[in-house]
Amino acid sequence: HAKALGRSQICIYNHSMQEKTKERLHLFNDLHQAILDNAFSLVFQPQLDDENHIIGAEVLCRWVNRGQSVSPDVFISAAEETNLILPLGRWLVMESCRTLKQWRDAELLPTSFNRLAINISAAQFMDPKFEEFITEAIRYHKLCPKLLELELTETLFMGDKHIIREKMSALSLLGFTFALDDFGTGYSSLSYLQRLPINKLKIDRSFVMDILDSKTPISIVDSIIQLGQNLKMDIIAEGVETNDQCAYLSNHGCHSFQGYLFSRPLTEENFLKFIRNHSSQQDV
């Protein structure tokens, strides 16, 4: 009996492995096709300061495949596993620049708006053509590099430290700024952080969630804020969902926020509406 059971378990295992592999192959195929078809779209999540000014936005990618929206956590990591992140990443940068240029030309942005943040995958950043490409994208759209904030994650720092430092320094000299995304969840050596031209730490949502949780004895958020202050970096918190979290952050030295409390990521049309409504509220 045990033997029979064992064998059937093995069969089930093989079957689900096969299914998984098949699903992944479909995903890669669809992703490849989606890149050829330009089937992605962008959404924009506002970033605010504690005087309620819109100081920027983060661009996030969206993909609806066969009628179903696929989470970026799924398709971005699939794109990263293949080289598809390179063409997708180039499209994201071009489309972000094009959109930003339009907003500026039409004077749709408030004066407080000073950054559009773009997520850059490690593989995309390590592409030898990255610097040339992003510089060209900026030049083509007649934008100032200061307007783009490149969001990197700590996974990048598992790569060649020397190359990373050189690339970041070169881009920083050109005027691009860097934010360290999901800060605190990944790998970074603190002494190394200090030697990189990082302008901003972005406190990960998981720490923001813990803020008023009495089960967490010490506040990681406080430590990150202090670290950022010591390193002379700006600090923004992501995933801010409640007024209590926002008040805590503000009282502890973090004055920039992004999260559902203010707005979900919005389509371009709705983002522009958000800006208009927001400025009319500020006028009264």
Separation in Å, CA 181 to CA 15, 33, 34, 238, 256: 38, 29, 26, 9, 14
From 20-28, 148-156, 210-218, 242-250, span contacting Mg ion (CB under 5 A): 148-156
Question: Distance of CA 14 to CAs 5, 9, 204, Å?
Answer: 14, 9, 38
Closest approach, Cβ 117 to Mg ion, in A, equals: 7
Asked if residue 61 binds ligand C2E (CB under 6 A), the reply is: yes
Q: How far is the CB of 238 from ligand C2E (least distance, A)?
A: 6
DSSP letters, 158-222, are GS-HHHHHHHHHHHHHHT-EEEEEEETSS---HHHHTTS---EEEE-HHHHHHTT-TT--S-HHH
Residues 93-122 that bind ligand C2E (CB under 6 A): 119, 121
Residue 70, phi-psi category: left (phi > 0), alpha (psi -120 to 50), beta (remainder): beta
60 touches ligand C2E by CB under 6 A: yes
Taking residues 210 to 239 in sequence order and writing x for each that binds Mg ion by CB under 5 A, - otherwise, the string is ----------------------------x-
Per CB under 5 A, 149 contacts Mg ion: no
* Closer CB to Mg ion, 119 or 177, in the complex: 119
For residue 242, what are the CA distances in angstroms to 57, 87, 175, 247, 263? 19, 37, 34, 9, 12
Q: Read off the DSSP letter of residue 5.
A: H
Smaller CB separation from ligand C2E, 109 or 236: 236
Q: Are 156 and 127 spatial neighbours (Cβ–Cβ below 8 Å)?
A: no
Query: Which of 182, 246, 254, 275 forms a contact with Mg ion (CB under 5 A)?
Result: 182
x/- site string to Mg ion, residues 85 to 114, per CB under 5 A? ------------------------------
Does residue 95 contact residue 42 with C-beta atoms inside 8 Å? Answer: yes
Amino acid type, 175: G
Stretch of 13-21, 97-105, 229-237, 255-263 lying at the interface with ligand C2E (CB under 6 A): 255-263
Residues lying near Mg ion in the complex (CB under 5 A)? 119, 151, 181-182, 204-205, 238
Q: Which residues contact ligand C2E (rule: CB under 6 A)?
A: 45, 59-61, 71-73, 76, 92, 119, 121, 181-182, 205, 238-241, 258-260, 265
